[in-house]
Structure 1
Amino acid sequence: MVVYVHAAQTAMAATGSNGLLPHDFQVAGRAGVDIFFVISGVIIAKTAPGLTWQAFAWRRFRRIVPLYLLLSIPYAIIASKAGFGWRDAVATVFLWPATDQMTAPALPSAWTLCFEMLFYAAATIVLIDRRLLLGILGIFGFAMAYRSAGPVFQFLGNPLIIEFAFGVALAYAPKLPRGVWCLTIGIIAMTGAGFVGIAPKGGTMEFLEGVGGFQRVLVYGVPAALIVFGTMHIEANPSAWTILGDASYMLYLVHTLPISLLLVVWMSYPINPDLIIAIGVGTSVLFAWRMYVRFELPLRWWLGRVRVFPAAA
């Protein structure tokens, strides 16, 4: 969904057209992020129990951070030519965007990883002592109430964090006899938001600051939870789709590279916008899949051999 909406933006920049599908439908592609947050809550809630806090933190760190940092290097080099200060370094290296002003990481899609690391930190603290959960909820509530105080409060009190809580709740929710229908309901609600004029707007900085955050949680977060919950009722066997699912993190990190390079071509040699979208999505998926096989899997295998902490709680 995220790759598609970025490819559609490329088509618009090159040709002035979004293609055959209406823009009101295409904006739903942004909600891929909201589905991502809900899934994160489910995964953390299902994988954390039984692990020590050290083992959980290490497993999440090795899964996300090394690959992200390596792929951020070329983006940081490019960003340095336009000015790369200490705020940019903090946001990029530590995935902490909130200093005296909100700053996004150099890698364009990594703003979501800032929240991901925040989720992991919260789960780690709860694994240390479950009684600290009330303190975490208190910090979130306090930061949300005083979001006007500055970037740190905007980040820690961002309403998008509620979508992570949706996922945690779904991990413990019982299956319903016809729960799979939640998938259809969620898709209709999510794609219909653009047509009725309630789809949230904004860019990376607005998302980090939580501008319109409650609207986004309602318009995209609730349908995302329904989609994830409905999908959890489906039994799936390994297939090409699951292989692409395994490569989805790599796809999320690198898809802007081939799309950006192709934009240079389309600006000089524009073609049909729908063809631009199809080529952009297809090229991104193919590139990410090969990077996953040739680069991510060997890196994960090597990191998996490193035993830092005992796993059992």
Structure 2
Amino acid sequence: MKKLDSIQILRAVAALLVVFCHGAAEIGTNSPALWPSVWHTINNKGLFGVDIFFVVSGFVMMHIISGQPPGGASAARFIGERAVRVVPLYWLTTLLSVAIGVLAPALKHKHAFSAPYVLRSLLFTPSINPATGAPEPVLGLGWTLNYEMFFYAIIALILLLGVRRVFTALLVVFVSLVVFGAWFQPDDIIVKSWTHSIILEFLYGALLAQLRLSGWRIGALAQCVFVSAGMGGWLLLDLPAAGHFDLRGIVWGLSAAAIFCGFVMGRSQIAWPKGFTLIGDASYSLYLTHLFVMRICSMLVYHLPVGAVLQAVLFLLVFPPAAMALSVISYRKFELPTMKLGRQLIDARLNRRRLIETA
């Protein structure tokens, strides 16, 4: 798929929403008396970045497999390339989180590093944090990657089974899972996760990909309407105090899909500045590494002998730029090389397999 700048911009926006979400929570923790409602609102609204990410993922995955013949080879290549893209950095940051928790526990708020729990985290299996009771892996952000890998696994299974109408199969599977979850309200963390309405957000992105591949486009006025409607849904509807809701995939999911539609489905594309699209390129690194940067910046700023307001201002001036700088370095020096090496290994393995089959 030809890279669309508008998608990279949405990735950048999604990652930065999460950055400010956690940054606001950090300020609220260190300065609880300083405008608490402001930091709570930013923290709450920043969670919407995840919903944008899921819609983007659904769109991109459908584009990746479009035109691919179903079967074992396509399934193997698809899941292999997804693993190469997601696993190395996630495993690195997860193990780094474990190392910090063991060697410098003062730098971490949550401590749970039993071998089974770490292993489940590395294998993208939804699990409960033994220390907090929260449904999250060792690296708390990884809960979203559990959903991503589940989505990839379903696509790979559909391809492996030889189903030609992949979107139709996805529609049937995901809607059935959500209906099951809504009807039976399962308690098991794995079943509960994989039947939550949030998985519909992948479906919205996949539907928009189908429409774009068919040639469907909208005019500038319609783009403005979609973006405005999506932002309205995001700003007017809140998550409850617990930080989640069962209909998130319908409420915030449709809002994210509307914003995506307004950005990506237009007849013409905006030429965005390269600096913005670079943050989109590095959004995966930004998402996974910003908490490490945040903790360091927080320790530095909140030990300065200045007032709470100035501490908050300095934190906001230092943390986001530092997180973005590290993410670009991580993208260029770690993500790109590991992706290149991984794809070379996948190509070599699939070529050997073809040679064996044709011999």
Question: Is 1:235 aligned to residue 305 of structure 2?
Answer: no
2:19 match: 3
Shift of 1:63: 0.6
Kindly tell me: are residues 201 and 161 of structure 1, through their superposed partners in 2, closer, same or farther at Cα, counting changes over 3 Å?
farther
Question: Is 1:309 aligned to residue 350 of structure 2?
Answer: yes
- Measured in 2, the distance between the counterparts of 1:123 and 1:89 equals 26
1:163 match: 201
Question: Where do 1:199-278 residues align within 5 Å?
Answer: 199-203=239-243, 212-214=245-247, 216-232=248-264, 233=266, 235-237=269-271, 239-269=274-304, 270=308, 271-278=310-317
Gaps of 5+ in 2: 1-16, 69-73, 106-110, 355-359
Deviates more, 1:8-17 or 1:279-288: 8-17
- Measured in 2, the distance between the counterparts of 1:156 and 1:141 equals 11
Q: Cα RMSD over matched residues?
A: 2.9
Aligned AA for 2:222?
G
Answer whether contact 1:20 1:274 (CA < 8 A) is retained: no
Aligned AA for 1:172?
Q
- Measured in 2, the distance between the counterparts of 1:103 and 1:217 equals 18
- Measured in 2, the distance between the counterparts of 1:281 and 1:272 equals 14
Question: Where do 1:268-307 residues align within 5 Å?
Answer: 268-269=303-304, 270=308, 271-306=310-345, 307=347
Aligned AA for 1:183?
V
Question: Is 1:183 aligned to residue 214 of structure 2?
Answer: no
Kindly tell me: are residues 63 and 258 of structure 1, through their superposed partners in 2, closer, same or farther at Cα, counting changes over 3 Å?
same
Answer whether contact 1:25 1:191 (CA < 8 A) is retained: no
Question: Is 1:33 aligned to residue 50 of structure 2?
Answer: yes
Aligned AA for 1:70?
L
Answer whether contact 1:11 1:274 (CA < 8 A) is retained: no
Answer whether contact 2:125 2:190 (CA < 8 A) is retained: no
Q: 2:122 aligns with which of 90, 93, 96?
A: 93
Shift of 1:91: 2.8
Aligned AA for 1:84?
F
Answer whether contact 1:122 1:136 (CA < 8 A) is retained: no
Answer whether contact 2:25 2:39 (CA < 8 A) is retained: no
Kindly tell me: are residues 236 and 60 of structure 1, through their superposed partners in 2, closer, same or farther at Cα, counting changes over 3 Å?
farther
Answer whether contact 1:11 1:18 (CA < 8 A) is retained: no
Answer whether contact 2:25 2:40 (CA < 8 A) is retained: no
Shift of 1:257: 0.5
Answer whether contact 1:19 1:274 (CA < 8 A) is retained: no
Aligned AA for 2:77?
A
Q: 1:50 aligns with which of 62, 67, 71?
A: 67
Aligned residues, how many? 300
Answer whether contact 1:146 1:153 (CA < 8 A) is retained: no
- Measured in 2, the distance between the counterparts of 1:145 and 1:244 equals 41
Kindly tell me: are residues 11 and 25 of structure 1, through their superposed partners in 2, closer, same or farther at Cα, counting changes over 3 Å?
closer
1:112 match: 144
Name the structure, 1 or 2, with higher relative contact order (CA <8 Å, separation 6+): 1
Answer whether contact 1:42 1:168 (CA < 8 A) is retained: yes
Q: Identity over the aligned pairs, expressed in percent?
A: 24
Q: 2:113 aligns with which of 84, 87, 101?
A: 84
Answer whether contact 1:97 1:104 (CA < 8 A) is retained: yes
Question: Is 1:64 aligned to residue 86 of structure 2?
Answer: yes
Query: Is the radius of gyration larger for structure 1 or structure 2?
Result: 2
- Measured in 2, the distance between the counterparts of 1:109 and 1:124 equals 24
Shift of 1:219: 3.4
Scaled by the length of structure 1, the TM-score of the pair is 0.85
Shift of 1:9: 1.6
- Measured in 1, the distance between the counterparts of 2:155 and 2:321 equals 36
- Measured in 2, the distance between the counterparts of 1:135 and 1:13 equals 41
Deviates more, 1:129-138 or 1:230-239: 129-138
- Measured in 2, the distance between the counterparts of 1:22 and 1:219 equals 23
Answer whether contact 1:91 1:103 (CA < 8 A) is retained: no
